[in-house]
Structures are given as C-alpha cells and as structure tokens.
Structure 1
Amino acid sequence: MMNTLKPSLLFTALLMLFWTDPAFSQSVNAGTSGAQFLKINAGARAEAMGGAFAGSANDATAVFWNPAGLAQIERGSVSFTNIPWWADVEINQFAAALNAGNLGVFGLSVVSLSVPEQEITTVDQPAGTGRFFDAGDLMVGLSYARKLLPQFSVGISAKYVNQRIWNQRASAVAFDIGTQYNFGYRNLTLGMTVSNFGPDMQYSGSDLAFFIPDRNDPSEAPGRRPLASLETLGFPLPLHFQVGAAIDAFDSRYLLWRLAADLKNPSDNYEMISFGTEFEFRLEFASVFGRGGYTFNNPDQKWSVGTGLMIDLSGYNIFVDYSWSEHEYLPGIQRLSVALSF
C-alpha cells in the first residue's frame, strides 16, 4: 500500500510546489536576450499541452524539450512542424532520432525562421530605395541520450545558432542537458532540463562598415576601403530551466488520460507554471488524441488546445497533430506536425 501511495503523494507534492503565487517573480529581464526563436515551442503535441513537456517528451521532439526523453524511443522517430507566424514569418522545425542499441539514442534537430523581403527605406527616401533586405534564423543541433538505469535517463544536445539581418550575422554554440526519472507507477515521470547554455552573441557584417570622406577631397570615391565600422553590443542566449512531472491518471484498453505540470524559469521573463492534459482514444488500428493546456503567469499566452491522429501501418506509426494557442495581444498561432515512428 505504501509503495502505491508514495509516487502519488510525490506527484501531489510537485503540484503544490508549482502552485505558488505569481508574485514570487518580482523582477523580469524581458528584452535582454537574443535568439528569441529558440523559445518558440516545438511540435503541435507539446504546444497543445501548454508546453508542459519536460516529463512527457518521448518522441523525436524531445530534442527541443528534454534530450533525455530520446532514450524512450525504441527504434526511430522523425517529426516535422510548420508554424505560420505573424507578419508572414515562417517557422519550420525538424527532428529525427535513432536508437543505436547499446550505443544509446542519437538525435538531429533543425529550426529555421524566415522573414520575407522588405524594401529598404531611408529618411531621404521614405517611399523606398529600390533595394531589399531579408532576415532569418537557423539552429542545427545534435543530441545524445541513454538510460543509465532502467528508470533513469540523461541526454545532452549541442547546437549551432545563427541569426542574420541582411548582411549582418551573429552566431554561437549552445548546449541543452536534461534528465528523466520514471517511478514505475502509472508511468509517473519527473523531467528536468536546462536549455540554451552558451556564450553571448554579437552581430557583425559588411553593412556596419561606413566611409568617412576626406574633407579636403570631397570627390574621393565612397567605394574605397571603409575607414570605420560600427560595433554592436553582445546579447545573451535565452537560458531556460524547466522541471516537470507527468502521470497516466487513467489507462485502459480504449482510453489513456495523461496529466502533466511544469515549472519554467526563463532568464528573460517571469517564472511560469504550465498544466497540460492528453486524452488518447484507442481504436483497433489507430488512436485519436485530444489535448489542452494552460500557463499561469505568462503575460502573453494562456490557453492552448489541439488534436491528433495516429495510424498504425504494420509497425509504422504515422502521426498528424494540430494545435492552436491563444495570445493576449496578437492573433492565435496554429501548428501542424507530421511524424513517423518506426
């Protein structure tokens, strides 16, 4: 009886720990870090659950949430997510993982953000100069995870981060590290992760160089080698700590109900508490999912909902997931994910 109660009491204690007054975060460093695209939630499934995914990550998208979750993959998993962002910005997220047996599980992640071309304007030419600029962000990461014990796994990711605005670029190498522990009771899993640990980034490029004409020779060609250049200030990566727990509240032949709760501590925002839930309705050769999530103390995003479908094709599972997240000041954001598990 005691063995049955202990995990349940632990999960309750974790919920009580997370349920603290929002006033516990009295200061916020909003706007102090760069590479904000790294903070955009990956995968429609995780987003629909409010981002409460540190303990639930068990597919290819674990490379974004908690690399230790890759150790739960038995063979292989591939996932692709498309996010139409505001102002015609397009975000694509790709993840793949392969179990190499005794060697562990290896993962690959790619995130791209593209900003459409816009015409350059100046004070003298407010209607446009006829020249255009664009911008984009890119992250490419490699991950590794393995089970140190049957119930305990650890994972790490190394990723190259690059941001570009026209001819200016900033880049850095960052790291994620995470752990998961399964208590063996109703799949109760505790997950912890630290993301985006790395050096500051700083923009540099040809557009920061400028020509200082010689006052004694105003006819001097401005195309000559520049005599000076501007220097930008460095900015830190969005360091993020997340700890969460997930449990199968109900599990039967036809229905699985999973609950999750996460505490998030970003370096450039308030601490937040996210709760998520997932219903899986099991059919003979398929499953239908319903998901929902809510985040407390987030000044921008609260609710998220989603649905999904899994089709079993002789050992190959195809997933199609959709999510919609509400935002306080801007229209809601949709995500569509397609995944293959084999």
Structure 2
Amino acid sequence: MKKVYLSLLLIFSISLVFAGNPDRQGEAGASELLLNPWARSAGLHGLSTSFISGVESMRFNVAGLGRIEGTEFLLGNTRLYEGSGISLNAIGFASKVGERGALGLSITSMDFGEIPITTVNQPEGIGGNINPSFFHIGAGYSYTYANKISVGALVRIISESLTDVSAFGAALDAGVQYVTGEKDNFKLGVSLRNVGTPMRFAGEGLSFQSGNPDGTANYLLTVGQRSQKFELPSVLNIGASYDIYISETSFVRAAGNFTSNAFSRDNIGLGAEVHFNDFLVLRGAYKYDIGSVPGESTNNIYTGVAGGISLNIPFKKGSSRNIGIDYAYRTTSPFRGTHNIGIKLNI
C-alpha cells in the first residue's frame, strides 16, 4: 500500500505544474501522441481513464493494462479527418505475467498519403513524392493490488523523419486505477502522459551550400542549421465512472473525465456505455474545450460528439475467448469526421 500511495502522490505532485494554457497552443511537437488509434476508447472520446483495460489502456491509462484475463491482441485503423488522406495504424499485444501483473507492447504509425515534392520554380511538383515516417513504440507494465488498485508505467520511443531530416525522443506514462463497490461499480482513474525529453530535428536536410563570404576564392561552403527544440504534448487525465446493473450481465456505465493539457485548453466530457450480455456494446460521449468560443479559429478540430459500437463474438458458447469488432466515429470541423475500426482477439 505504501507503493500505491507513493505512486498517487507522485502523479498528483507532477500534476501541479499543469494548467490548460491556450497561449501555448501549437508550441508542442509530436502531436501524433494525442491521436487515438483504438475504436473502443474513441467511441467515448477518450473519457475512459477510470475503466479502460488491456492494450487500449496504453494510450490513456496504463494502469488498466493488467485488468485482462489471459492474452489480448488488437489491430486498429483510423481514417483521420475524412477527406484529408491521412490515416493512423496500430497493433498491440498484452499478456498476464503472474497473477497480478501484465506486460504490453504497442506500435503506432501514421500514413500521410502522397505528398508531391515541389520547388519555387516547379510549384506543380517535380514528379516525386515525400514519404514522412512518423511512428512510436511503447512498452508498459501494470500491477494490481487485491483487485482494487492498479498502478502502471510505460516507456514510449518516438521517431519522426523526412528525407535527410529526423527527430527522436522518449516519453514516460504513469497511471493509477481504483475500483470499489458491491460489483466493482465505482471506478476512479488518474494518468499522466507524454512526459519526456525535448526533441529536435537534425540531419543533412537542414544544410545548404553558400558562396565564400569573403570573396577571396570562388568555392562553395556547406552551412548547417540548428533547429529549435520542442516539447512533448504532456497531458493529465482524471476520470470516474459508475455502473448501473440491469441484469447479471447487462449494465449502463456513466463516465466523466477531465483533461489538463500543458499546451492547449483543458477539456471536460461526459459519456455512457450500454452493455448487453457481454455481446453488444453501444457508446456515446460529448467533450467540451473549456474556454472555447464557437467559430474561433483556435478551436479543437473535434466538435465534441463521438459514438461507437462493439460486438464480442465468442469462439464457442460459454467461452471467455472471443473476437471483438469495434467501430467509432467522431465529428470534426472542418473535414467529414474521423472513423476508427478495430479488431480485438482475446485468448
């Protein structure tokens, strides 16, 4: 219990440096760390800090990693901002380690589509395409105490690269989940994400050739430029949920979440899930950026509404092993929304 209290104290102590600051909006880099490739949590707009589990927990609260039985595989595809041509792909794995621990691994990459190479003299393109490579890989561990309190930590390696230019960094996530009630109805979660090293782009792509400045000889010099460092988009999540049982296997889950962003506005949201006999799950949520003004150019691209559906199909009747099919949609302005599709395998 001392370790649990120490973990809680550490997370809340670090959270004191956080405050939603719209004046710093856009100053952080590696914003792909805030994108969600998983459909189940996307259907709730990421308001699942208190109860998220398995592979998806490595995106919002790694403490939930250990709340699985056996092994879980997850595939996710996201069509970001329909019409932009950008997509997000992810694969994840989680498995029990002993009775109370769990290990997980996830890999996420972005696909920017075809971006033509242009120059000042050839603004229509020179016939080639730029192929940016943005990906990150995370490894996490979670431990559960007496099935009531879970703590977890995750290390994530970040890579962003273009032709002859690249940036690398590392980030740490930590989280806590607490469960109580007659049927574990009430859940509370706190997580701190994307706390890590500043990143800087470097490479031959930042060099250029220039003539000899003193003019004494006719030759070219290669001049290297140093780019400015940028911070990671650190986030603090605090969430709670409560389950209202309709029958032994069907219930309604109400959830609320507060997010403190170090480089943009804070936001708050409410959502609900309806579980039908562990087979069908319907979900919906609304999230609001505190201090935003309708029509303002600095507003979040997401307009607040999200919804989703999941089907859990058992391999055979009465088996805990199943395959899950998930879909989520989030409204955006501009573009035509974001679509998430996922397939989960529990064995």
**TM-score normalised per structure 2:** 0.84
Note the alpha carbon deviations across 1:47-75, whole angstroms, 9 max, x for none.
11121111121222111111110121121
Determine which of 331, 334, 339 is the counterpart of 1:329. Answer: 334
1:51–1:293 Cα contact (<8 Å) kept = no
Deviation at 1:329, TM superposition (A): 2.3
Determine which of 196, 201, 204 is the counterpart of 2:199. Answer: 201
Determine which of 228, 237, 240 is the counterpart of 1:242. Answer: 237
Residue 329 to residue 58, structure 1, CA distance change in 2 (3 Å): same
- Match of 2:69, SS? coil
Please tell me the residue identity of whatever aligns with 1:260. Answer: A
Deviates more, 1:209-218 or 1:34-43: 209-218
2:21–2:261 Cα contact (<8 Å) kept = no
Residue 200 to residue 25, structure 1, CA distance change in 2 (3 Å): closer
Determine which of 36, 42, 52 is the counterpart of 2:37. Answer: 42
- Match of 1:212, SS? strand
1:63–1:95 Cα contact (<8 Å) kept = no
Count, aligned residues: 311
Alpha-carbon distance in structure 2 between the residues aligned to 1:52 and 1:167:
39
What is the match of residue 17 of structure 1?
none
Q: % of aligned pairs identical?
A: 25
Deviation at 1:259, TM superposition (A): 1.1
Alpha-carbon distance in structure 2 between the residues aligned to 1:230 and 1:200:
18
Note the alpha carbon deviations across 1:21-42, whole angstroms, 9 max, x for none.
xxx9574421010111110123
Deviation at 1:213, TM superposition (A): 2.7
Note the alpha carbon deviations across 1:247-293, whole angstroms, 9 max, x for none.
112241352211111100111111111212111112xxx61111101
2:193–2:235 Cα contact (<8 Å) kept = yes
What is the match of residue 106 of structure 2?
109
Q: 1:267-306 maps to which residues of 2 (within 5 A)?
A: 267-282=262-277, 287-297=279-289, 299-300=299-300, 301=302, 302-306=304-308
Note the alpha carbon deviations across 1:93-145, whole angstroms, 9 max, x for none.
22211001147200001110122232222222223233432212111011000
Does residue 1:255 correspond to 2:250, yes or no? yes
2:80–2:337 Cα contact (<8 Å) kept = no
Note the alpha carbon deviations across 1:285-309, whole angstroms, 9 max, x for none.
x611111010012633200011110
List structure 1 segments (4+ residues) > 3 angstroms apart after TM superposition.
24-28, 214-218
Alpha-carbon distance in structure 1 between the residues aligned to 2:128 and 2:42:
38
Does residue 1:136 correspond to 2:128, yes or no? no
Deviation at 1:194, TM superposition (A): 0.2
1:264–1:273 Cα contact (<8 Å) kept = yes
1:51–1:276 Cα contact (<8 Å) kept = no
- Match of 2:229, SS? coil
What is the match of residue 208 of structure 2?
210
1:50–1:275 Cα contact (<8 Å) kept = no
What is the match of residue 161 of structure 1?
158
Note the alpha carbon deviations across 1:128-185, whole angstroms, 9 max, x for none.
2334322121110110001134311100000101111232111111100000011234
- Match of 1:55, SS? coil
Determine which of 163, 168, 173 is the counterpart of 2:170. Answer: 173
Alpha-carbon distance in structure 1 between the residues aligned to 2:68 and 2:130:
42
Alpha-carbon distance in structure 2 between the residues aligned to 1:60 and 1:26:
30
**TM-score normalised per structure 1:** 0.86
RMSD over aligned Cα, in angstroms?
1.9
Unaligned runs of 5+ in 1: 1-23
